[in-house]
Amino acid sequence: VAAKSGRPLDKGDVYKILNLRTYIGEVTHKGNVYPGEHEAIVPRELWDKAHAILQVSPRARAAQNRQHAPALLKGLIFGVDGRAMSPTHARKKGRLYRYYVAQRVLKGDTGDDTNLVRRLSAAEIERAVVDQVRALLRQPEIVAGTWLAVRGDAPDLTEREVYDALQRLDPLWHELFPAEQARIVRALVDRVVVGPEGADIRLRVEGLAGLVRDLAPAPTALEAAA
């Protein structure tokens, strides 16, 4: 879903939409709420339920969302044996713990293979991958390569605008919905191979061009008319 400017909606946009009383047949003027002359398109009961959720602290909501977030590296993370590691979870004393587990462990066929990483914390490996992606976006050669790749579709985009667009992801990351974070990771990460010495993170630089198109500011009406 995109805003009128063409950029993807972020959490701030969604919060503004959820607080538009126009949807329940009311209007706001100078801080006061009045009955509107239009019909409501959102039932009051649904409005009240949504705002009851919004009353929960952002920290508590974030914790709840993480429990239902998609596995960020599902289909992208593999062991040195070339077989995918599967996301799984366990709940202890009411707390959710997420893991990626080797296929051979799930099938009970681990043998004596010392190179096999049987299980690892999903939070730790996902954080390592995201940190690596963020570091990539700061490298001058990556910025230059992305600019060259995106010029075919956006010839007026300058190298500085590409740099600014890539830097915009860093502070924006925690404002993105989990599904959007997963989409970006899948666009930029080709494969994560986990062995006893650590993780080899292979990135898809070509995915940066699409990311820049998403993050670059849309031209204003004045610029478009110039």
Q: Are residues 48 and 107 in the same domain?
A: no
Answer for the pair 148, 136: CB distance below 8 angstroms, yes or no.
no
Answer for the pair 70, 179: CB distance below 8 angstroms, yes or no.
yes
Point out which residues pair with 191 in neighbouring strands. Answer: 202
Q: Are residues 130 and 167 in the same domain?
A: yes
Q: Are residues 48 and 78 in the same domain?
A: no
Assigned domain for 62 exists? no
- What's the domain range around 25? 1-55
Cα separation, 175 vs 58, whole angstroms = 11
Q: Are residues 79 and 48 in the same domain?
A: no
Q: Are residues 139 and 184 in the same domain?
A: yes
Q: What is the pTM of this model?
A: 0.59
Assigned domain for 23 exists? yes
How high is the pLDDT of residue 85? Answer: 93
Q: Are residues 85 and 147 in the same domain?
A: yes
Domain count, the chain: 2
Assigned domain for 51 exists? yes
Assigned domain for 170 exists? yes
How high is the pLDDT of residue 76? Answer: 93
Burial (CB < 10 A; 0-12, 13-18, 19+), residue 191, is middle
Q: Are residues 47 and 71 in the same domain?
A: no
Q: Are residues 94 and 132 in the same domain?
A: yes
Q: Are residues 4 and 74 in the same domain?
A: no
Q: Are residues 25 and 114 in the same domain?
A: no
Q: What is the mean pLDDT of each run of 10 residues along the chain (226 residues)?
A: 56 74 82 81 83 66 54 91 90 87 81 78 90 80 78 77 78 76 85 89 77 61 36
